[in-house]
């Protein structure tokens, strides 16, 4: 950082105006040029300004270099999945907040703070900070622009919106792509959400190579997990093989987050085999490793209740209402629709069929929830048949068949 920027940062940190700083030394215009590094200036003027602001130039340079180093370590620790180190550095950076806020590192810090909230599964704060950063995007460097696109990609992956995730990830520059350790991993997840199994497997394999190369053991498990998820989309034998591989990964995993993801995927694979009783057990186990009232918690909570319905077990209204309340609390439109549908189903209410016809079925088709299309679609067809409305029953059946061809 040049001297002018150090002066400007220190002045703002102390809450002083340019007039207060330059009084008796130079004009406000001259100080403004010094701060913006647009003029040459005599050493004695710099010394007087530094004395007034109590600036030791060498110490300030060391301070800003130390903050830059901390920011690099902060991002690296998040990539490596070192939670204790991440929290420690986050606290150190917070102590420098007012200095950073008035420095050239302000945007980079906010970007890494967004990544930190994603790392801690605090999606609300991540989203709010992301929107704040969007308003500043026209001032971004290429690196900052790439980072925001990458972090939005992660945000939408966590929210299971593969389409939006790919919109951001595809806007990342070639230089950033080749320098990033984890971008292939996130591309693999995004393509997986978009049901692009081959592309997901391709990027997952590349991610596995990167993580092995950098000896990131926890991330190797993450990449192996994504590859297993693609295997779990195959036929019965492939699903059984994926369950076996998931269980091997479970033995190797050390973090609650990874354990929760693996347990959930075993449950999901068992659902595909229609072994709902065992699936419920694994979703229950996954919930024990997840933070309550988060999006990730909701995925296993809903899967558990829906498995119970498919297994003809009793799901209470209070269980579904709890899910609906969490959905609203975290602003998840997807799970709000799913739990509202479930509540109408539990109530055995006529409202269910109106809701399916007017909203839910189209939503299930748009997000490719095949098990919901099958289950609730059949309920709607049976309802029309019971009303002797065969035209609507036939129309709905054709709509569902066409949806599964898409």
* Last residue within a domain, chosen from 20, 35, 55: 55
285: in domain: no
Residues lower than pLDDT 50 in the chain:
none
- What CA–CA distance (Å, rounded) separates 381 from 393? 5
**pLDDT reported for residue 130:** 97
At 253 the three-state DSSP class reads coil
How many folded domains does the chain comprise? 2
Please identify which residue in the block is written with the tokens 């040049």. 2
75 DSSP assignment: H
Boundary residue ending a domain (198, 214, 231): 231
What is the secondary structure of 103-157 as a DSSP string?
STTHHHHHHHHHHHHHHTT-HHHHHHHHHHHHTTGGG--HHHHHHHHHHHHHHHH
Tokens of 405: 């061809």
pLDDT at 282: 98
In a domain, 322, yes or no: no
Residue 263 counted as domain residue: no
Does residue 178 form part of some domain? yes
Helix %, strand %, coil % of the chain (to 5): 80, 0, 20
Q: What is the pLDDT of residues 76-87, one digit of tens each?
A: 999 988 889 999
Helix (H, G, I), strand (E, B) or coil at 270: helix
Report yes or no on 42 lying in a domain: yes
Give the domain extent around 184.
144-231
Write out the two tokens for 208. Answer: 């596995």
Mark which of 231, 256, 280 sits at the end of a domain: 231
Report if residue 34 sits inside a domain. yes
- Chain CA centroid to CA 366, Å: 21
Rounded to an integer, what is the distance from CA 299 to the centroid of its chain? 14
In a domain, 218, yes or no: yes
Q: What does the buried/exposed string (b/e) look like for 15-37 if buried means 16 or more CB atoms within 10 Å of the residue's CB?
A: eeebeebbeebbeeeebbbbbee
- CATH number for the domain spanning 19: value is 1.10.260.40
Alpha carbon separation from 358 to 184, 243, 250, 352 (Å, rounded): 39, 37, 42, 10
* Residue 264 Cα distances to 87, 269, 283, 313, 337, angstroms: 26, 9, 5, 20, 21
Task: Please state, in angstroms and rounded to a whole number, the distance separating the CA atoms of residues 317 and 107.
Answer: 46
Residues near 71 by beta carbon (within 8 Å), at least 6 away in sequence: 93, 105, 108, 109, 112
Backbone torsion region of residue 274, taken as left when φ is above 0, otherwise alpha when ψ lies between -120 and 50, otherwise beta: left
d(CA 367, CA 369): 6
Q: Is residue 36 part of a domain?
A: yes
| Ranges assigned E (strand) in 149-301 | none
Quote the pLDDT of residue 13.
82
3-state SS of 34-48 is HHCCCCCCCHHHHHH
- pLDDT (0 to 100) of residue 36: 81
In this structure, what token pair is assigned to residue 95? 């102590």
């Amino acid at each position: 950082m040049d001297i002018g920027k150090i002066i400007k940062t220190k002045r703002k940190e102390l809450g002083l105006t340019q007039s207060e700083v330059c009084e008796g030394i130079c004009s406000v215009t001259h100080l403004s040029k010094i701060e913006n590094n647009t003029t040459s200036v005599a050493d004695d003027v710099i010394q007087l300004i530094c004395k007034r602001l109590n600036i030791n130039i060498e110490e300030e340079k060391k301070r800003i270099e130390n903050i830059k180093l901390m920011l690099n370590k902060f991002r690296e620790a998040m990539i490596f999945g070192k939670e204790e180190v991440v929290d420690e550095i986050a606290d150190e950076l917070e102590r420098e907040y007012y200095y950073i806020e008035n420095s050239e590192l302000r945007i980079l810090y906010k970007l890494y703070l967004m990544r930190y909230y994603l790392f801690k599964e605090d999606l609300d704060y991540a989203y709010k900070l992301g929107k704040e950063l969007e308003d500043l995007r026209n001032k971004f460097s290429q690196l900052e622009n790439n980072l925001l696109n990458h972090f939005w990609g992660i945000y939408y992956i966590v929210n299971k919106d593969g389409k939006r995730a790919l919109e951001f990830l595809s806007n990342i520059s070639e230089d950033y792509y080749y320098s990033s350790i984890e971008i292939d991993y996130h591309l693999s997840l995004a393509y997986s959400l978009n049901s692009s199994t081959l592309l997901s497997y391709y990027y997952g394999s590349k991610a596995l190579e990167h993580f092995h190369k950098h000896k990131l053991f926890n991330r190797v498990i993450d990449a192996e997990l994504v590859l297993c998820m693609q295997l779990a989309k195959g036929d019965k034998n492939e699903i059984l093989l994926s369950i076996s591989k998931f269980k091997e990964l479970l033995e190797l995993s050390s973090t609650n987050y990874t354990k929760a993801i693996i347990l959930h995927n075993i449950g999901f694979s068992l659902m595909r085999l229609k072994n709902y009783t065992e699936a419920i057990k694994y979703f229950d186990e996954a919930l024990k490793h997840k933070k309550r009232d988060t999006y990730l918690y909701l995925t296993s909570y809903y899967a558990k209740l829906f498995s119970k319905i498919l297994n003809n077990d009793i799901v209470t209204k209070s269980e579904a209402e709890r899910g609906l309340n969490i959905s609203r609390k975290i602003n998840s439109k997807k799970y709000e629709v799913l739990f509202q549908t479930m509540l109408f189903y539990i109530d055995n209410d006529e409202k269910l069929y109106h809701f399916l016809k007017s909203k839910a079925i189209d939503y299930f088709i748009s997000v490719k929830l095949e098990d919901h299309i099958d289950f609730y679609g059949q309920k709607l067809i049976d309802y029309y048949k019971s009303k002797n409305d065969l035209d609507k029953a036939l129309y709905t059946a054709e709509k569902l068949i066409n949806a599964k061809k898409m």
